[in-house]
Structure 1
Amino acid sequence: MVCYKDIEAKIADYLSDNYTSAVEIGIGRNPDVAAALKEKGVDVSAVDIRNIAEDYGIEFHCDDIYSPNLSLYVGREVIYSVRPGVEMVPSLISIADQTDSDLIVYHLGCEIYRDGGEIIDCGVILHKYR
């Protein structure tokens, strides 16, 4: 059985093996993937709709993905989100489309959006929507 922190490690391993720049959408109070990416040399930043009081040592910006500041995402090879609400996925896809970035999502439980995109099994199931 994969435990909670193993999930974040497997996501970070996959992303760092495939990308050199990334932005996490919806970091909330779980900086584990972004912190691991930074340790692995990935140029990573994070956004959330709420201002994060804690300093995770990762470049952070407040942004509303329903009316995004696209400059926060331009030039990033991948946009990723860990356990976003499924209602967020259309906006994530739109941001990825507008910035020509890949989009990788680790869903909560069995949630998927539409057909689930391309399935990536890296020890956990990721969905590549773009």
Structure 2
Amino acid sequence: MDEYKHIETCIGRYIADNYSNAVEIGIGRNTDAARIIADAGNLLCTTDIRNMPVPEELGFIVDDIFSPDLSRYRQADVIYSVRPGIEMVPSLIALAGRLDCDLIVYHLGFETYENGGERIDCGVILHRYHRCSKTIKQR
């Protein structure tokens, strides 16, 4: 498996195994992690600031993380983002706090935001910048 697919596979499996209502923020054109989560029945929707050619089963919506429509995320137990711009992370943290859900980020290279949050090794290093205050139902 090439490194690129390995990363998305690890992310997708971790989210699918630990959450039941996931939202991917900033999906872009790489749908691999979202497909794994959707195949497990645990994907709520995917978003990006621009309209993207995303398969219908991934529940794509256009939304701006800097001014999000909260009604689109209310059911989420996790929001996650794969290689977001570092400038997006404060808005992702704020959204997770408002929704009281986990926030998981996979950074490009060795980027981190502030202290890097809680590190999760699932075959790749993920960063949990916000943890839900209530117990998330484990699968």
**For 1:113, what is the secondary structure of its paired residue?**
coil
Q: TM-score, normalised by structure 2?
A: 0.89
Which residues in structure 2 correspond to 1:43-82 (within 5 Å)? 43-82=43-82
Give the drift of 1:44: 2.9
User: Aligned letter for 2:91?
Assistant: S
Give the drift of 1:54: 4.2
Aligned pairs, number: 130
Q: TM-score, normalised by structure 1?
A: 0.95
Q: Which residue of 2 aligns with 1:101?
A: 101
User: Aligned letter for 2:100?
Assistant: D
Give the drift of 1:41: 1.8
Identity %: 57
CA RMSD of aligned residues (A): 1.4
CA contact (8 A) 1:35 1:56 kept: no
CA contact (8 A) 1:23 1:45 kept: yes
Give the drift of 1:2: 6.6
Alignment deviations for residues 9-57 of structure 1 (CA, whole Å, 9 cap, x no partner): 1011111111011000000001111111111121331010000134352
Which residues in structure 2 correspond to 1:1-130 (within 5 Å)? 3-130=3-130
Give the drift of 1:73: 1.1
My pick for the range that moved more, 103-112 or 68-77, is: 68-77
The 4+ residue runs of structure 1 with deviation greater than 6 A are: none
Structure 2 residue runs without a partner (length 5+):
131-139
